[in-house]
A = this chain, B = another copy of it.
Amino acid sequence: MPKTEGSPARIVIDWGTTSFRAMLVDEAGAVIEEIENERGIKVLAKGAYEQELRDQIGGWLHTHGPMTIYAMGMITSRNGWVEVPYVACPVSVADLAGKIMRRSLPDGSEVIFLPGITDLARTPYPDVMRGEETQIVGFGLEQNMTLVLPGTHSKWARVAEGSIQGFQTFVTGELFALLAQHSFIAASGDLSGEPDMAAFERGVRTALAGTPQHDALPTLLFSARAGMLAGQLQPGQMRDYVSGLLIGHEFAGAFSCGWCRPGDMVGIVGNDGLNDRYARAAKIAGLLVDDGGEHAGLVGAVKVAAELEALHR
């Protein structure tokens, strides 16, 4: 991260299931220093969060004095430190700022836990996200646009009129991990070697063919094995072909669920290394891409922080 000359104004923490990330940022939201490691909530006891936080960022507080710490991610969930209830769509920055929860540290620093959001219109149960909404805020709510946030549980969301209007989860990344690690694909595929983007794009095109057979994901996935038996797919292509099938199928689902139409521009927001694959799939699907960059979460947290600080000034 580039260092800046600004003085430390706040700390932003993204504390997930498997990772911890803290950023010391200046007034304008530029990162001055950063800590990143694998001390996610999964490896910590439920009562250990406060001490862990003090261990991780105590140096900053000691050097710069008490600060406000903005925390997002699974640390705000039922299994985290402080459970912040979901805010229902449509959700503006002011709505998020209005539903935060606070805890004080002994040195006078305050931890502000940001809420997740829920879309009550989804069936059979309300959909939920926790952390991605801050990335969406960072991307911006001003334009009328659909965004996709690639990930283990990727999210498609609609922003318009300064609010997140609604969203839908696809467990695409989790299915890929299961198939790549534990399935017949692992048994027959060569998982080493460089990514084969031609095989990936072949998978995307297959999934977007638009026939009922290709829409049925459990049939589509079998095409990996059938293609190998037919001598049309090589073991080294299996992993990326299946990645393409799953991501292509997600785009087909996004079309049929009304999130976008060919010719539309969609924003791709995220930092999990999948943005390139989603951009390639979007292009094949006939979409234009607005790249949301990799720091939307930080930008979003700073926007919520600015909103809160303005309220209390």
Contact = CB atoms under 8 A, between A and B. Distances in A.
Contacts of A250: 218
Contacts of A253: 212, 215-216, 218-219
Interface in A203-226: 206, 209, 211-219, 221-223, 226
Prevailing SS type, chain A contact patch: helix
A216 B172 CA distance: 11
Number of copies: 2
Nearest to A221: B171
Nearest to A202: B124
Contacts of A126: 226, 230
A175 B122 CA distance: 24
B218 A257 contact: no
A98 to B, nearest CB: 22
A179 B246 CA distance: 16
A222 B246 CA distance: 15
A229 interface: yes
Residue with the highest number of chain B CB atoms closer than 10 Å, among A125, A170, A172, A232: A125
Given A178-B178, A218-B250, A226-B122, A212 B171 contact: no
A182 B175 contact: no
A24 B58 CA distance: 75
A29 B216 CA distance: 38
Interface string A86-128: 0000000000000000000000000000000000001111111
Given A216-B256, A218-B170, A218-B250, A123 B209 contact: yes
A137 B153 CA distance: 43
Contact of A184 (B174, B214, B218): B174
A273 interface: no
A216 B178 CA distance: 18
A217 B184 CA distance: 20
A233 B126 CA distance: 12
B178 A222 contact: no
Contacts of A214: 123-124
A158 interface: no
Given A179-B178, A230-B126, A171 B222 contact: yes
Interface in A24-74: none
Contacts of A217: 217-218
- Top 8 A-B residue pairs of the complex, sorted by shortest distance between their CB atoms: A216-B253, A170-B218, A125-B226, A178-B178, A212-B256, A125-B227, A169-B222, A217-B217
Interface of A: 78, 122-128, 153, 168-172, 174-175, 178-179, 181-184, 206, 209, 211-219, 221-223, 226-227, 229-230, 232-233, 246, 249-250, 253, 256-258
Given A128-B229, A175-B175, A218-B249, 11 more contacts: A123-B209, A123-B214, A124-B223, A126-B226, A126-B230, A178-B183, A182-B182, A213-B257, A217-B217, A218-B246, A219-B257
